Structure formats: C-alpha cells, structure tokens
Amino acid sequence: MKHLSKIQNAIKFATKTHEVYQKQKRKGKDIPYITHPLTVGLILAHAGASEDIVIAGLLHDTIEDSHKDHKVTRAMLDERFGLVVGALVASVTEPNKDLPWKERKQKALEHIKTMDVPSLLVKSADVISNVSEILADYKSDGEAVFGRFNAPKADLIANYRSVIKALINGLSQSNNPLLSDLRAIDDDLEKLA
C-alpha cells in the first residue's frame, strides 16, 4: 500500500479543485462534479492501468476546469504528482474553452489522433464515464437530458461517436479492456441518434 498515499493525494487535490473551491455540479443536476473524476479513476483502475494513469484520470479535468482564483497548472501537477501525470493531464486538456463548441470539439477530435496509448486510456475512461451518465440520464429523463448541453442532440451524439471511433482506432493495436466498453456505448448512442 505504499503508493496509496499518492492516489489519496490526487483524490484530495481533485476534490479541492472541483468541490471545495467551486462547488461544481454535473450538467443540469445536483450531483457534485467530483463524482466524474472519481469514476474515471475507477474505470482506469478496473482496466488495470498503471498508478500514474489512474492518478491522471482522477486529475484529468483539474487544469481545464479550475477556478481562476485557484488555477491549476501543469507545473503544479508535475511538482505534486510527477512529470508523467502532468503530461497525461495536459494531453487530455482542451487548451481553449473559449472557442465555439463545434470548433473546440473538432480540434479535440484531431488531437485524439495524435495521442499515445496512456493518453488514449485517460480520454477513453473520460468518454465512457460521460456517455454512460448521459445514457443513464436518458433512461430516466428522456429527451430532456439533451437540453443540458451547449449543442443540439444530433451534434452531441455525432461528436461522441466520432470521438469513440478515434479512440477505438488509437487503441485497436493494444489489447485493452476499454475497447469493449467503447464499442458498447457507441452502439447505445447509435440507437439514440
């Protein structure tokens, strides 16, 4: 259990970033945002990812979503969690959230095609978590779930399906357990389209 303290520190850091400093919630719900990075970390741990990849999953939104008064930087992550974790988090961080939605998502999709396997794993767990939550919410709330997003339903689904296909392509040379989950959520999204 010597490494557990590094994971515990990552959980505390993510909790401060998302919950303590900004009381972030999941889109359109009264559920603390921290549930998402925790889920991403659990997905990665369940898939047998290394400690650094699990930690990057826990911290994957800290740079992108940190509050300006408590801004998280890559240098902070490098110092606290190591260069590998800092690089992984930076690799899945959208650099400019001020761009229009379609442009931002297109750039993110192109970036996936350049990612290495560890970054693809973190991004895959992020997508699996997000899409699984959308699918679960759809079962309980129906079409209303799509009103929570900054894009129409068709665009949102098309974007996620393109991202999933890019992730599957990137991971197809590895024998990764997340591939079956990616294929399953893609099938479920296709039914909603």
Going along the chain from its start, the domains and CATH numbers come out as 4-91 (1.10.3210.10), 101-192 (no CATH)
Active site residue 69: no
pLDDT band at 3 (very low <50, low <70, confident <90, very high): low
Q: Which of 19, 64, 94, 155 is catalytic?
A: 64
Beta bridge partners of 32: 25
Over residues 31-60, the pLDDT tens digits come to 999 999 999 999 999 999 999 999 999 999
User: Cα(54)–Cα(147) distance, rounded to whole angstroms?
Assistant: 31
Nearest Cα to 36, choosing from 50, 49, 24? 24
Catalytic residue among 51, 52, 61, 65: 65
Residue 6: per-residue pLDDT: 92
Q: What is the pLDDT of residue 37?
A: 98
Residue 85's pLDDT is 98
pLDDT for residue 97: 83
SS3 content of the chain, % helix, strand, coil (to 5): 75, 0, 25
Instruction: Please check the confidence at residue 185 and state whether its pLDDT lies above 70.
Output: yes
Please confirm, yes or no, whether 65 is among the known catalytic residues.
yes
Q: Is the pLDDT of residue 2 over 80?
A: no
What's the whole-model pTM score? 0.95
Give the length of the chain: 193
For range 112-139, the mean pLDDT:
96
Token pair listed for 140? 């309980």
